[in-house]
Chains A and B, each alone.
Chain A
Amino acid sequence: MNEITSGLLNVVSDWNGSFKGAYNIREDGGCAGRQSSENIKIEPKQDNPGIVIRISSKAQKETVYIPACVTHAGVNDLVYNDFIVEDGADVIIVAGCGVHSDGEEEARHNGIHRFFIGKNARVLYKEKHIGTGKGKGARRIDPVTDIHMDEASYMEMDTMQISGVTSTNRLTTASLGAGAKLVIRERLLTDGDETAKSDFTVSLDGEDSGVDLVSRSVAKGNSYQEYHSVIKGNCRCTGHSECDAILADNGRVNAAPELFAGNIDASLIHEAAIGKIAGEQIIKLRTLGLTEEEAEQKIIDGFLK
């Protein structure tokens, strides 16, 4: 792999020169390294570019790394990855993405991930996105995530976009079986002229399924964000979504949460707040000795932590 990939991996997937266990490193549309483990098998897809990751029931607290990097302008990487998680497996999936461009043309990664999570399986999915480089070409990351959760399964999806991504369009859909729980934590920072769109649709189809979706974002500079979530309560279930955004400079945010209750026992809640950093928060931190700028940064860092 090249040095840019190495640097990006360091940021998005805790790379320190090697990965332990199963991994697949995607670089500019090609494979820069792959390894299966006894319980996690990674194979190339036959119909499309991408891989199939099969996680055995024997995998317990195992980690698999599947980072993807685009390292120069003019790359438009499209990949289809399927995760098949067997009943009772317990796995951590680290799937960061970095896009680097020093050129005039666009650099783009478009990852389409499908999850098939078996009964009683547990998945922690961590995804960190970053854009780097000094080129004028746009750095785009457009992830599509499609989740199917079987009975009593659990998934926590922890996504974070740190900085430098010119444009992102995140589309996430999920359907939950009986007793399945989905936790989504999105953190997003945009600056300059960046744009970010997040669209979540979660169908609660099985009795006692539940989703907890929290999105926190900061829109700085002239950036623009759109947040749209739909939680469909089709049975006895619980759904909670929370969208909090901090505005700075000329940042703009359009949040449109949506709840649909199709059953009398569906219990759905939404909370949303958009605004600048509260003046009293800055004053409190200044009384601890921070400058106004330090206080603002501390509040933003904490908010997105």
Chain B
Amino acid sequence: MLELKGIHWKTPEGDEILKGVDLTVPKGKLTVVTGPNGGGKTSLAKIIAGLYTPDEGTISLNGADITPLDITERAKGGIAYAFQQPVRFKGLTVRDLLNLSAEETLPDNEICRILGEVGLCANEYMNREADSSLSGGESKRIEIATVLARKNAQMLVFDEPEAGIDLWSFSNLINAFERLKNEGGRTLLVISHQERIMEIADCIAVVANGTVTEFGNREDILPALLEREKGCKCPLKTTKREGC
């Protein structure tokens, strides 16, 4: 279980992005964080992964306070993070990145399996450099694959995994999320606007204007969210704020 309590964070320029976030992400479940652009979702993900340090508040993972831990320590502690904007490397191949993620030299069939989950043919990609010769969609799928390869990670955070990938790969990705969910044991936090991802979520949190405005079971939150998209002003129900 991941718990965020009273998280505040300002940019170096002083803009207050997170204004007291309280969120409990239940262990072994898939929680989707959604909400309007600029509401603080990516900042929240980066706070969890240790890329940003909160000005106030605490973060705990399975009961242990991880607030003071840096990026590396959080990764070693079991947090994996797929960037919204993939990072490219001249010289490092897709295979290199997956081996680093897995902390071992993966056999070809395992690389093939992981890349297959994001809709990539391993033979075409595993020895390619993860550089700008890859398209945005290809880079995005490889970024997601680096998290899927993290065998020892217990908390997987994906920041808008659907952005820039084609429908077929997106279907594969949904299957991968469902597989991870059904396997149990791992906690998934997915930042997304996609209805199909929300449809497989256990819990949904809405983050807007730097706070969690709604949180609850998918069955309670999603219908109202969809209605709201159609223009309905109906209020969302907040059910169990703790443990969903």
Interfacial residues, chain A to chain B (CB-CB below 8 A):
216, 244, 278, 280-281, 283-292, 298-299, 301-305
Contacts and interface: CB of A to CB of B under 8 A. Distances in A.
B41 interface: no
Nearest to B102: A288
Contacts of A291: 72
Interface string B55-98: 00000000000000011100110001101000101111100110
Dominant SS among interface residues on chain A: helix
Interface of B: 49-51, 70-72, 75-76, 80-81, 83, 87, 89-93, 96-97, 100-101, 103, 146, 150
Contacts of A298: 92, 100
A288 B75 contact: yes
A305 B96 CA distance: 12
Contact of A287 (B81, B91, B96): B81
A288 B87 contact: no
Contact of A299 (B50, B71, B92, B150): B92
A288 B91 CA distance: 17
15 contacts: A281-B89, A283-B51, A285-B100, A286-B71, A286-B72, A287-B49, A287-B51, A288-B101, A289-B76, A289-B100, A289-B103, A290-B100, A298-B92, A299-B91, A302-B91
A285 B150 CA distance: 12
Contact of A304 (B89, B91, B97): B91
Given A286-B70, A302-B93, 4 more contacts: A285-B100, A287-B75, A287-B80, A288-B101
B234 to A, nearest CB: 39
Contacts of A292: 72
Contacts of A288: 75, 97, 100-101, 146, 150
B145 to A, nearest CB: 12
B8 to A, nearest CB: 22
A264 B73 CA distance: 58
A281 B97 CA distance: 11
Contacts of A305: 91
A166 to B, nearest CB: 26
Nearest to A242: B90
A289 B72 contact: yes
A290 B91 CA distance: 17
B69 to A, nearest CB: 12
Given A286-B71, A286-B72, A289-B103, A281 B91 contact: no
B91 A216 contact: yes
A281 B72 contact: no
Nearest to B85: A280
A305 B92 CA distance: 9
B72 A302 contact: no
A290 B72 contact: yes
Contacts of B72: 286, 289-292
Contacts of B76: 289
A285 to B, nearest CB: 7
Nearest to A301: B91
Nearest to B149: A288
